[in-house]
Amino acid sequence: MAGDSEFDRDTAVTRREPGVYDIDLSAGWTIINAVNGGYLLSVLGRALADTLPHPDPFTVSAHYLTASQPGPAVVRTETVRTGRTLSTGQASLFQCDDEGNEVERIRVLASYGDLTTLPDDVRTTAAPPPIPPLEQCFGPDDAPAPIPGSSAITDRLMLKLDPATLGWALGAPSGKGEMRAWFGLADGRDADPLSLLLTVDALPPTAFEIGLKGWVPTVELTVHVRHRPAPGPLRVSITTRNLAGGFLEEDAEVWDSEDRLVAQSRQLARVRLG
């Protein structure tokens, strides 16, 4: 059912010419008025999947330049290197300002491969996050208090937050830089490597649990996709260990229904005290 899902429809890019893609950024993936950075990363990831000879993002590094708005955008891609196992590409997303000048929103470097060709060996000390069963977690609709900042994107996500990391929504943040949730797409579309680029940046900021309000814009976000996710809800754990000098890191892990670590990400974000 991938083809007709909200995620696939809203990340669909139209090739105008080789390496140039048109996209209408959907207002359906906004938080307050900002277009979600993970949604934007999925759009760029789809354009690169069309440009490069390999299908799956293995590592994607995005530097966020200016705030994107819902509406028309252009993605320009470049093939940097093609190899047997990996190929590397670059992509930028542009929108026009009021004077009609193109403004670059995001620039991405990414190395793509084919997850289905990787050997099955796994040696890991990583363990799935401690999170209660899905039915004991809370979403925007059934939270004891309405979750501040709930926005259009919440209608498109199945997001159930671990009560242990929901204190901020009740005015009692834990003080720990942790955010955990069950994650899926609201229309039931299964996760795949492209949707994982959205998943790593779809939870509320860990800064809320540290007791900070206000916005936490992403400066840079790098995602490693490590395995093709199995069907079923994902578990996402985000941790911030070091808030210093007005910046913090957010480390995300995404686990699939077969207890495999399918994605890791880290972002550097600015703390804008509200």
Residues that bind its own copies (CB under 8 A): 58-59, 61, 63, 65-66, 80-81, 85-86, 88, 90, 104, 107-111, 115, 118-126, 176-177, 210, 219-220, 222, 224, 226-227, 241-247, 249, 260-261, 264, 266, 268, 270
Q: Give Dmax over CA atoms of the chain in angstroms.
A: 54
Residues contacting 229, CB < 8 A, separation 6+: 190, 191, 192, 193, 196, 254, 256, 260, 262, 263
Residues contacting 81, CB < 8 A, separation 6+: 87, 88
Report the residue number, 144 or 175, with the smaller CB distance to its own copies: 175
Report the residue number, 9 or 81, with the smaller CB distance to its own copies: 81
| Shortest Cβ 269–its own copies spacing (Å) | 10
CA–CA gap between residue 114 and residue 227 (Å, rounded): 10
Buried b (16+ CB within 10 A) or exposed e, 59-96: bbebbbeeebbbeebbbbbeeeeeeeebbbbbbbbbbe
| Shortest Cβ 206–its own copies spacing (Å) | 11
Report the residue number, 8 or 256, with the smaller CB distance to its own copies: 256
Report the residue number, 15 or 176, with the smaller CB distance to its own copies: 176
| Shortest Cβ 110–its own copies spacing (Å) | 8
CA–CA gap between residue 38 and residue 60 (Å, rounded): 11
| Shortest Cβ 26–its own copies spacing (Å) | 25
Q: What does the DSSP assignment read for 153-180?
A: GGGGEEEEE-GGG-GGGGT---SS-EEE
CA–CA gap between residue 140 and residue 238 (Å, rounded): 18
| Shortest Cβ 178–its own copies spacing (Å) | 9
| Shortest Cβ 75–its own copies spacing (Å) | 16
| Shortest Cβ 224–its own copies spacing (Å) | 5
Instruction: Provide the sign of the torsion angle of the four alpha carbons 22, 28, 32, 38, taken in this order.
Output: negative
Angstrom CA distances, 245 to 133, 242, 271, stand at 37, 10, 9
Q: What are phi and psi of 243, to 5 degrees?
A: -100, 115
Report the residue number, 51 or 88, with the smaller CB distance to its own copies: 88
